[in-house]
C-alpha cells in the first residue's frame, strides 16, 4: 500500500516538471493500452443508430407533426370553425402527442437543458389562468403567451392547453362553441409548441447544436461509449418507472376494490380531456422498444441496446424483449379492449390497470437489476 505523502508541488523546478510530465505521459499511455475498459468503437453502430435513427428521427417526427397541428388549428381559426376542421385538429394533436410520448425514453440533453419539456408538456393545465386570460382583453398571440408564461412551466400552454381547447373538459366540444379569443389562444399556443419542437430538433442535428455528436464522438459529457450506453439504459429505466410508479400510481391512489374516489383518479390522468392516456403510456413503452431494438417505425437498422445485451446475456435479452411486448399489450388491454378509455377503466376494471402497472414494473425491475448492472460492468 502506497502511503499518502506530502509532495512539494509549489517548489518544483522546471526540470522536475519535465520529468514529472514524462512519467505522467507514460502512465496515461500505459493506462490506455493495458488498463482501459473503454470499448472504443465496439458499439459505434448501436450508438449511431440510436442517435440518428431513433432519437433524431423521433424529434424530426415530432417537429413535423407539430407543424401539421399548427396548420390544423389555423384552419380551425380561419373562416369559421367547422366540425371536420375540429376533428382534423384533434387527430393532429394525437399525431403530435405520439412522437412526444415516444421521446420520453430519452429525456436527457437539450430537452431538459433548454427547458423544452416544461415549455410544452407541463401538467396540470392552469385552467383558472387560461379562463382569466380569455375573459380579459389583452391581444393573444405567440409573443403574448411566451411572455406571459415567463421562464417556463406555468400550466398555461403546451399540449395540455391545446387539448383543453380541442376537447373541452367533458370531451363534447363543438366547433360552433369556439370564441374568437379561444381560437387566438389555441393558435398562439400551437405556435409556441411548434417553436419549441423546432428548437429541440435543431439542438440535436449536425447543422444545428449537434448534440448527437456528443453521443457519437468523444465528448466531455460522455467520455466513453459506456457513458452513452448507461445514459440510454437509465433513460428507458426512467420512463418505465415514471409510467408504473407515477403516471399510473397517481390515478390509483385513493381507489380500492370497493371503488373509492374515481373522480380524483381521473383528475390525475395525464391526457384525460382527450382520452389519450392509454396511447400516451403505449408510446412511452414504445420508446423503450425503439431504443432497445434500434427500430423506429419503418426506420432504424435494428442496432440497439439489444445487441449489447445479447452478446453478453442472451436470456436477459429475450426477457427484456418479451417484457416490453407484455407491457404494451397490457396497457392496450386496460378496460378489456382497446376501445375502453382509461377513465372508464378506473371505475370499471381497476384490475386491468393494476395488471398493466405490474407488467411495466416487471420491465423496470429487469432493466434496473440486470440491464444496467450489465452495462455498468462493461
Q: Which residues bind other proteins (CB under 8 A)?
A: 1-10, 12, 16-17, 19-21, 23-24, 26-28, 30-31, 34-35, 108-110, 112-115, 118, 122-129, 132-133, 136, 147-148, 150-156, 220-222, 227, 230-231, 234-235, 238, 245-246, 249-250, 267-268, 372, 376
Q: What is the closest distance, in whole angstroms, from the C-beta atom of residue 95 to other proteins in the complex?
A: 25
Residue closer to other proteins by CB (options 8, 139) is 8
Widest pairwise Cα distance in the chain: 85
Are 282 and 102 contacting, i.e. CB atoms less than 8 angstroms apart? no
Q: Which of 97, 95, 96, 83 is nearest to 271 (CA)?
A: 97
Residue closer to other proteins by CB (options 349, 354) is 354
Q: What is the closest distance, in whole angstroms, from the C-beta atom of residue 77 to other proteins in the complex?
A: 22
Distance from C-alpha of 345 to C-alpha of 326, rounded to nearest angstrom:
19
For 77, left (φ over 0), alpha (ψ -120 to 50), or beta? alpha
Residue closer to other proteins by CB (options 3, 180) is 3
Q: What is the closest distance, in whole angstroms, from the C-beta atom of residue 20 to other proteins in the complex?
A: 6
Q: What is the closest distance, in whole angstroms, from the C-beta atom of residue 22 to other proteins in the complex?
A: 9
Residue closer to other proteins by CB (options 41, 136) is 136
Residue closer to other proteins by CB (options 118, 300) is 118
Q: What is the closest distance, in whole angstroms, from the C-beta atom of residue 175 to other proteins in the complex?
A: 26
Q: What is the closest distance, in whole angstroms, from the C-beta atom of residue 369 to other proteins in the complex?
A: 12
Are 91 and 71 contacting, i.e. CB atoms less than 8 angstroms apart? no
Distance from C-alpha of 298 to C-alpha of 319, rounded to nearest angstrom:
24
Residue closer to other proteins by CB (options 132, 338) is 132
**The dihedral sign for the CA sequence 330, 335, 336, 341:** negative
Q: In angstroms, what CA-CA distances link 139 with 75, 146, 189, 209?
A: 20, 13, 13, 34
Beta-bridge mates of residue 260: 255
**Count of C-beta atoms within a 10 Å radius of residue 148:** 15
Q: Which of 266, 287, 294, 310 is nearest to 363 (CA)?
A: 287
Residue closer to other proteins by CB (options 109, 328) is 109
Transcribe 302-361 into DSSP letters.
S-SHHHHHHTT-HHHHHHHHHHHHHHHHHHHTGGGSTTS-HHHHHHH-HHHHHHHHHHHH
Q: What is the closest distance, in whole angstroms, from the C-beta atom of residue 365 to other proteins in the complex?
A: 13
Q: Which of 72, 281, 283 is nearest to 166 (CA)?
A: 72
Q: What is the closest distance, in whole angstroms, from the C-beta atom of residue 377 to other proteins in the complex?
A: 10
Residue closer to other proteins by CB (options 56, 70) is 56
Amino acid at each position: 500500500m502506497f502511503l499518502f505523502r506530502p509532495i512539494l508541488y509549489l517548489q518544483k523546478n522546471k526540470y522536475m516538471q519535465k520529468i514529472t510530465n514524462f512519467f505522467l505521459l507514460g502512465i496515461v499511455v500505459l493506462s490506455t493500452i493495458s488498463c482501459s475498459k473503454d470499448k472504443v468503437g465496439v458499439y459505434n453502430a448501436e450508438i449511431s443508430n440510436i442517435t440518428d435513427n431513433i432519437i433524431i428521427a423521433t424529434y424530426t417526427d415530432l417537429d413535423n407533426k407539430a407543424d401539421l397541428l399548427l396548420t390544423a388549428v389555423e384552419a380551425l381559426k380561419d373562416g369559421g370553425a367547422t366540425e371536420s376542421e375540429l376533428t382534423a385538429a384533434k387527430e393532429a394533436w394525437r399525431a403530435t402527442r405520439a412522437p412526444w410520448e415516444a421521446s420520453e425514453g430519452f429525456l436527457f440533453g437539450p430537452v431538459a437543458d433548454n427547458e423544452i419539456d416544461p415549455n410544452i408538456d407541463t401538467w396540470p393545465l392552469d385552467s383558472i389562468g387560461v379562463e382569466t386570460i380569455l375573459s380579459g382583453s389583452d391581444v393573444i398571440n405567440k409573443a403574448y403567451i411566451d411572455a406571459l408564461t415567463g421562464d417556463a412551466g406555468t400550466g398555461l400552454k403546451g399540449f395540455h392547453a391545446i387539448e383543453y381547447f380541442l376537447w373541452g373538459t367533458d370531451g363534447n366540444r363543438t366547433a360552433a362553441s369556439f370564441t374568437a379569443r379561444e381560437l387566438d389562444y389555441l393558435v398562439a399556443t400551437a405556435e409556441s409548441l411548434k417553436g419549441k419542437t423546432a428548437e429541440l430538433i435543431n439542438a440535436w442535428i449536425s447543422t444545428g447544436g449537434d448534440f448527437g455528436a456528443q453521443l457519437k464522438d468523444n465528448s466531455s459529457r460522455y467520455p466513453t461509449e459506456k457513458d452513452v450506453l448507461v445514459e440510454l439504459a437509465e433513460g428507458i429505466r426512467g420512463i418505465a418507472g415514471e409510467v408504473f410508479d407515477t403516471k399510473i400510481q397517481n390515478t390509483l391512489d385513493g381507489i380500492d376494490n370497493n371503488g373509492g374516489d374515481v373522480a380524483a383518479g381521473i383528475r390525475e390522468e395525464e391526457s384525460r380531456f382527450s382520452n389519450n392516456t392509454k396511447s400516451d403510456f403505449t408510446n412511452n413503452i414504445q420508446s423503450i422498444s425503439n431504443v432497445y431494438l434500434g427500430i423506429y417505425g419503418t426506420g432504424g437498422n435494428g442496432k440497439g441496446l439489444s445487441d449489447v445485451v445479447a452478446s453478453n446475456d442472451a436470456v436477459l435479452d429475450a426477457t427484456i424483449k418479451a417484457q416490453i411486448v407484455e407491457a404494451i399489450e397490457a396497457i392496450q388491454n386496460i378496460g378489456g379492449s382497446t376501445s375502453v378509455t382509461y377513465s372508464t377503466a378506473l371505475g370499471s376494471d381497476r384490475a386491468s390497470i393494476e395488471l398493466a402497472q405490474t407488467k411495466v414494473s416487471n420491465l423496470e425491475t429487469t432493466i434496473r437489476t440486470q440491464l444496467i448492472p450489465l452495462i455498468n460492468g462493461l
